[in-house]
Amino acid sequence: MTTNLRNIALALFLVTTVLCAGALSANADSSKIWTKRDRLKQEKLKQSATPSERACALYLDNMDKLYKGKSVDIEIIEGRFKGLRKQYVRCTFYDPFSEPILKEMAALREEVLGSDPLQAAKAMKAYKNLVRRHLANLAVVQMALEIAREDSRFGSPEFYSDVRGFIRNSLRDKRHDGSEPSKAIEIMTMAEQDYIIASAGGELIDSELIEDDGLFYYALDFQEEGSNYKFSIFLDVTTPMTVIRRRQEEAEKQKQLNVFGSPQ
């Protein structure tokens, strides 16, 4: 990869994710969040022949169970969170940067706090639906946690703290401890990368994005605080980089269509 391309890719992937306030929860009314239309749409997705749609439908099924707070389901889902994160990225609403989702959450929160009761009720329902379908997104869960801490109407902080732990604990395992490229930690969102960097136990002194046969690895070099000991952590950022590139290509194609018109 040329230095210029590497710098462009790094710039794209180093955009700081806003990890601010956050909230919602699995409460007594959670079963009412799914409308009849939501359920019909989900059943249609289950029957779809498209692998991505099936994966997303399974993901939404599990997020529904998690949100409703059934203890037996939560125990099962906790052990499968790595796979759920992979299903999440198959959904069309997945965004590796998360910023548009966080902005929408903030806007809906303001509407809930507004003076119009009817609009506030609509905004709360929209907020809950938005957060529910992004429960595998660390940035969204972190923001939901902070909002819940400030206002209990948005849900239980304990619930979001647990889900945040599920995500963090699913990042590393024996085969993916980040010690070398073959054991790189699989990253799905920018917030996951930010968490790995923040919890590394050292100062980030260098980084490099490596492309190898269509796969992207992010090599992070750290120096341990208070000593000269240096160590590296490798991240597999193939998923977000692939999505970023694909969406850039789609945007460029759409731009050309807008300029020259659709082909006859």
Q: Where are the alpha helices (DSSP H) in 113-181?
A: 117-133, 138-150, 157-169
Q: What is the model's pLDDT at position 120?
A: 97
Residue 193 has pLDDT above 50, yes or no: yes
141 and 36 inside one domain: yes
Q: Does the pLDDT at position 202 exceed 50?
A: yes
Averaged confidence pLDDT in the chain: 84
Final residue of a structural domain among 111, 145, 169: 169
Tell me, yes or no, whether 214 lies in a domain. Answer: yes
165 and 186 within one domain: no
| Res 245 pLDDT > 80 | yes
The answer on 233 and 210 residing in a single domain is yes
- 220 in any annotated domain: yes
pLDDT on residue 222:
98
pLDDT greater than 90 at residue 37? no
Same domain, 69 and 119: yes
Number of domains in the chain: 2
51 and 155 co-located in one domain: yes
pLDDT at 2 over 50: no
10, two tokens: 């790094």
pLDDT tens per residue, range 53-85: 999 999 999 999 898 887 777 888 888 999 999
For residue 33, pLDDT over 70 is answered with no
**Tokens matching residue 260:** 């020259």
Residue 174 has pLDDT above 50, yes or no: yes
**pLDDT, tens digit, 9 for 90 and up, residues 109-126:** 999 999 999 999 999 999
Mark whether 110 and 234 lie in a shared domain: no
Residue 254 located in a structural domain: no
From 169, 189, 215, the end of a domain falls on 169
Whether residues 159 and 189 fall in one domain? no
Asked, for residue 97, whether it belongs to a domain, the answer is yes
Q: What is the pLDDT of residue 32?
A: 40
Closest CA to 65 of 91, 105, 26: 26
| Ramachandran sector of residue 212 (left: φ over 0; alpha: ψ -120 to 50; beta: rest) | beta
Does 185 lie in the same domain as 141? no
What pLDDT is attached to residue 13?
47
**The pLDDT value given to residue 26:** 37
pLDDT at 131 over 50: yes
Any domain includes 76? yes
* Radius of gyration from C-alpha coordinates of the chain: 20
264 within some domain: no
End residue of a domain, out of 119, 140, 169:
169
pLDDT bracket for residue 255 (50, 70, 90): confident
- Residues 164 and 222 occupy one common structural domain: no
Range of the domain at 189: 181-243
How far apart CA 122 and CA 220 sit, in angstroms, is: 44
Task: Look at residue 20 and tell me whether its pLDDT is greater than 60.
Answer: no
Same domain, 185 and 164: no
3-state DSSP assignment of residue 201: coil
Residue 19 near residue 191, CB atoms below 8 Å: yes
The predicted pLDDT at position 258 comes to: 80
Judged against a pLDDT cut of 90, whether residue 238 lies above it is answered with yes
Same domain, 153 and 78: yes
Task: List, for residues 136-168, the tens digit of each pLDDT value.
Answer: 999 999 999 999 999 999 999 999 999 999 999
pLDDT at 262: 55
Task: Look at residue 234 and tell me if it is in a domain.
Answer: yes
CA distance 113 to 111: 5
Q: What integer pLDDT is reported at residue 39 of this predicted model?
A: 66
